[in-house]
Amino acid sequence: MTTATLSLSELTAAATGAAKISAAASDAKRAAWLTAVADALDADADELVEIADSETSLGPARLKGEVARTTGQLRLFARVITEGSYLEAIIDHADPNSTPPKPDLRRILRPIGPVAVFSASNFPFAFSVAGGDTASALAVGCSVIVKAHSGHLRLSERTAEIVAEALGGAGAPQGLFAMVTGREVGTALVQDPAIRAVGFTGSIPGGRALFDLATSRPEPIPFYGELGSLNPVVVTEAALAERASQLAEGLATSFTLGAGQFCTKPGLVFIPAGTDFAAKVAEASKDKPALGMLTSRIAEAYPEGLRSFASVQGVEVVSGSVDQDAVANGAAPVVFTTSAAKVLERPEELLEECFGPTTILIEYTDREELRSVLAKVPGSLTATLHAQPGEDISALVDHLSELAGRVLFDGWPTGVAVNWAQQHGGPYPATTSLFTSVGATAVRRFLRPVAYQDAPEAVLHPALHESNPLGIPRRVDGELQLP
């Protein structure tokens, strides 16, 4: 499965052929391919972690955990496709006596075809070459061409070698997986007529540019982009009165984790006015070390973002310094404070994502002002609420549910479980779609529904056969049937 000498058109042609073979393969066979990749990555984890640490400065402990998450994702999707409910198989038998007469209709989800995946900078394994987008697309029968991130090219190349060798050894078709590099090639990949969908994790400017390309093609395609997220946290007066020190410690740990380079970093924290919580957060943050950032470009942008916040009259620095050289010395934590009134006055400047270990504490005077300022917050991946038992929080939960895909209670958003119920996506600009990129239902992005009317059973997918030979959950004549 060597692809280094092939042109983009040759890669996409091979991906088209491989997608047809993969779509026809059984779920059990594709699950075996995924498991083979997971086993190969685990076997070479030490080598991969060493390369990743040299390119990202994320540290061996974090990176080992991320390899485990990545291989865990691959195995989860193997379970998802063999369990079978992902197919959404539905059978409605013919009823000639109804008005009008009903034909026999059988509906199922089918793979969309070759998929382009753009790697993320901040997760060199879990959102990269063999990450969740790749795993979920391969799982359902799509072929994948990955555009590697420039921030960890050596790791991407080695990971791609391992993935390709594992797939080939497990009997997967030639062309099922490939990797390309370079911005121009990535742009051409989105525009290539063979590509049927795109998965992307990155910045708002870069993601929006590719989104516009995908949707302006002669034949537009879905663009599943994760672009940017502020992840607001709301703390009620009762919660602050009960556990301010605990909240300060939790916040300091969360917004500085991984040098603040998590897509779920809590960037906005709404607190009641007139408390000493800012001082507690400053105290909890003061000993957090400066850490190296993923790339020099990200490190250069961090102080620029800090200075932009600090330049707004009415914004105060309560911990750390905006005058820092994150390239030479690493990114040091900075805590800002301001009022909800100031955010309402200057939302364009204060409701911007600053990638790095910083957060803004925003003081609100009452629930009405809080609701007003929350209405200005752009779509996010997460929203968090810290309240006390017995408080009336229904209206707040409604507000937070409107602006985020995952609402947390009495916790912190950094850390995304990979399971059946996870939702990692939110209103724009968090993502460009309604789907999740993490968890079992991530496969839904790369599937499309097809209904077969009065079809002979011989041409149908086994999931639609009358006898249910796969033993999967189905809905038959309106009733959910479990195996």
Here the tokens at position 89 are 């198989």
**pLDDT digits 0-9 by tens, 334-360:** 999 999 999 999 999 999 999 999 999
Which residue is catalytic, options 66, 83, 142, 226?
226
Helix/strand/coil for 398:
helix
CA 70/CA 64 separation, integer angstroms: 10
Write the DSSP symbol of residue 287. T
Q: Which amino acid is at 3?
A: T
Q: Model pTM?
A: 0.95
**pLDDT digits 0-9 by tens, 386-403:** 999 999 999 999 999 999
Q: What is the DSSP string of 419-459?
A: SSS-----TTTTBSSSS-SSSGGGGGGGEEEEEEES--GGG
226 is catalytic: yes
pLDDT averaged over the chain? 96
Residue 1 pLDDT class (50, 70, 90 cuts)? very low
Average pLDDT of the residues in 128-134: 98
DSSP H stretches of helix in 2-59? 8-24, 27-43, 45-56
Residue 3 pLDDT class (50, 70, 90 cuts)? low
**pLDDT digits 0-9 by tens, 300-323:** 999 999 999 999 999 999 999 999
Residue 434: C-alpha distances to residues 146, 188, 205, 220, 412 (Å): 22, 25, 20, 17, 23
60: left (phi over 0), alpha (psi -120 to 50) or beta: alpha
Domains of the chain: 8-227+433-481 (3.40.605.10), 233-409 (3.40.309.10)
Which residue is catalytic, options 83, 142, 237, 263?
263
Say yes or no to pLDDT of 2 above 50. Answer: no
pLDDT at residue 5 in the model: 75
Say yes or no to pLDDT of 416 above 70. Answer: yes
